[in-house]
Chains A and B, each alone.
Chain A
């Protein structure tokens, strides 16, 4: 084969690989999505609960029935936190991701759920998901923090999840260009040098259409930009930048205490969502 032909074959192979079989460099993220995490006043709050690869908008995975879905709210720093079970609001839906459809959930939370001022720490404990490619289970303990009215409460308090990210900045009040920090916890203990993946929600979720936008907002210049790799430091803390408005998912991989489920390896991950806003 001539040099030129070899080059053409290599280009064709690379093209097929890129189009037909996108390398799975983007990471799994359990989403707890609302359009707005900082409410000025209480309002009905539709939420999408989707397991996907948010930078590429897919592939999207079928979710099992969540093991628990609740919110812990608190108005004022000295007030007692209040836990409210939200599982009755879970409705199974089909979510249209980029390239495929999958079983997901929505929760149309009535105004009453977020009626008081204060912080609302939403938490989801999903059923472990079998990742067939790797023949292992993934279970992502996921938090998303909202605020109503500006009175803070428990945004920085851990919920006591097996795998959890404790925020050191309010997840609902971040400027674009700001820095966000947190601590990765395993059963409440900081995890030094934990592996973290950071991913931007690049395909805008549409709650009414139950779909991601087909087109992404930006293109990554290189596969390593699909999800940004970060490590916690020796004390279990990490910092990330927030270069663009929208939602950023932070996932600490395999930090939970269990590593087996149904006879297969299990990765218990911790996910936290952070929303950034343009300074304008």
Chain B
């Protein structure tokens, strides 16, 4: 088995797992979102407490089309109007480390 395959498999597990089940690696990306009025507020951070400033957060619809994105400021938050239907929010922590949360888990 090539090392690349192992890394890809690990990445797949990472990317498809729930954001808050991400193992606490030294610098694992963490993401949570909740409903605030008619908007959704997302917070991104890292398990070692470092800031998510400068990292990218994306909102994808059910067909994986990008519907909103942002480069996070030092608050690590992003607020958006949720679309109709299912969507997912992806926090790209860099180095192929992402955290994803699905609309069904956002309350």
Q: A residues touching B (Cβ–Cβ < 8 Å)?
A: 40-42, 75-79, 115-118, 148-153
Q: Are A151 and B51 in contact, CB atoms less than 8 angstroms apart?
A: no
- In the assembled complex, which residues on chain B have CB atoms less than 8 Å from the CB atom of A152? 47-49
Q: In the complex, what's the smallest C-beta–C-beta distance from A85 to chain B, in angstroms?
A: 21
The reply to whether B45 and A75 form a contact with Cβ atoms under 8 Å apart is: yes
B interface residues, Cβ below 8 angstroms from A: 20-22, 24, 28, 30, 32, 34, 43, 45-52, 74-76
Contact residues in A for B47 (Cβ distance below 8 Å): 150-152
Residues in B neighbouring A117, C-beta threshold 8 A: 30, 32, 43, 45
The docked-state distance in angstroms from the alpha carbon of A78 to that of B45 is 11
Q: Is the CB of A153 within 8 A of B32?
A: no
**A-B contacts, CB under 8 A, total:** 56
| B32 pairs with A41, CB closer than 8 A | yes
Partner of A40, one of B20, B46, B76: B20
Given contacts A117-B45, A148-B32, A152-B49, 18 further A-B contacts (CB under 8 A): A42-B32, A75-B45, A75-B76, A76-B49, A76-B51, A76-B52, A78-B49, A79-B74, A117-B43, A118-B45, A149-B20, A149-B32, A149-B45, A150-B20, A151-B43, A151-B46, A151-B49, A152-B47
Q: How far is the CA of A149 from the CA of B24 in the complex (A)?
A: 10
Picked from A77, A115, A149, A153, the residue with its CB within 8 Å of the CB of B30 is A149
Known pairs A117-B30, A117-B32, A151-B30; A76 contacts B45 (CB<8 A): yes
Complex formed: what's the CA distance from A149 to B20 in Å? 6
Chain B residues within an 8 Å CB radius of A149:
20, 30, 32, 45
Chain B residues within an 8 Å CB radius of A150 = 20, 22, 24, 28, 30, 47
The 15 listed contacts between A and B (C-beta, < 8 Å) are: A40-B20, A42-B34, A76-B46, A76-B49, A76-B50, A77-B51, A79-B75, A149-B20, A150-B20, A150-B22, A151-B30, A151-B45, A151-B46, A151-B47, A152-B47
Most central of B45, B47, B52, B74 by chain A CB within 10 Å: B45
Residues of B within 8 A of A76 (CB): 45-46, 49-52, 76
Indicate if the CB atoms of B20 and A77 lie closer than 8 Å.
no
Chain A residues within an 8 Å CB radius of B30: 117, 149-151
Report A-chain residues with C-beta under 8 Å of the C-beta of B75.
Answer: 79
| In the bound complex, CA of A153 to CA of B46 (Å) | 10
Q: What separation, in Å, do the CA atoms of A75 and B47 have in the docked complex?
A: 10
In whole angstroms, what is the CA distance A79 to B22 when docked? Answer: 22
Expressed in whole angstroms, the Cα–Cα distance for A148 and B75 within the complex equals 17
B-side contacts of A41, CB under 8 Å: 20, 32
Tell me the complex Cα distance, A41–B46, Å.
15
Residues of the A chain whose Cβ atoms lie less than 8 Å from the Cβ of B76: 75-76
The answer to whether B49 and A153 touch across the interface, beta carbons within 8 angstroms, is yes
Is A77 a contact of B34 with CB atoms below 8 Å?
A: no
